[in-house]
Amino acid sequence: MPERHTKRIERGPRPYLKAELSTQEMRLKQMGAKIEVINSFLCYIRFEVEGLKIKYVYNLNRKGQFFLERVKPYPQPAGTFDTERDVVESIKNDIAQIRQLARSSHFKELIDMNSDLRFLSKRLDSICLYYDIKPEDIAKLKKSLSDLHGTFDTVRDHSQRVYFETEPFCITGKNPSSVED
């Protein structure tokens, strides 16, 4: 009898992705999760503007809205939009703002500070999840955040505005309303 040769054809980097997802879904359900599978799309957008790489990702949520996030030069959620036209307009404005930022002599410092702020957010998350924080330490953290908001307000008040096409989202130190899921 002739030898049989089987050739497995792998499509993409993870040929068993559906099985992996089913296993993950089962494990999450065992943990008590309610899972809603949405057949959707995820769109990656890449630009190079004046030598600077700018990347975005957006997807369609369960309400039929587009959730947009800038990935590069630093991650920043851009918001939820009702139409693709709104997504394009947001990206257009964001690119114009980043182009303006890239002209700053302090561009690298500003990007590095943004990275430090994201790291602080991760540290806060870790402290909250792994430690029983004392009330006096919570008060210290709140005071530090309040001081930082004050510093941002001071910097804004004595800096020249350079972009006028849209209004800033978080120009004041007031926390915007929480995002619904």
Which stretch, 6-10, 60-64, 105-109, has highest mean pLDDT? Answer: 105-109
pLDDT for the residue numbered 105: 87
Burial of 151 (C-beta count, 10 Å sphere; 0-12/13-18/19+): exposed
Query: In this model, does residue 179 exceed pLDDT 90?
Result: no
Which pLDDT band, with edges at 50, 70 and 90, does 161 fall under?
confident
**Helix/strand/coil for 127:** helix
One DSSP character per residue, 28-90 reads HHHTT---------EEEEEEEETTEEEEEEEEE-TTS-EEEEEEESS-EEEEEESSHHHHHHH
Q: Where do the structural domains in the chain lie, given as residue ranges?
A: 42-105
Q: Is residue 131 pLDDT above 50, yes or no?
A: yes
Q: Tell whether the model's pLDDT for residue 2 goes beyond 70.
A: no
Residue 71 reports pLDDT greater than 90: yes
> Across residues 124-146, what is the average pLDDT?
95
Bridge pairing between strands 76-81 and 52-60: unpaired
pLDDT of residue 176: 54
Amino acid residing at 113:
M
Confidence (pLDDT) at 14:
62
Q: How sure is the predictor about 172, in pLDDT bands with cuts at 50, 70 and 90?
A: low
Q: What is the pLDDT of residue 88?
A: 95
Q: Give the number of residues written for the chain.
A: 181
Above 80 in pLDDT, residue 83?
Answer: yes
Place of tokens 């959620």: 77
Residue 18: pLDDT over 80: no
Alpha-carbon span 98 to 50, nearest angstrom: 10
Q: 166, 93 in Cβ contact below 8 A? A: yes
Q: Does 180 score more than 50 pLDDT?
A: no
pLDDT tens digits for 28-44? 888 888 877 776 778 89
Residues 124-139, mean pLDDT to the nearest whole number: 96
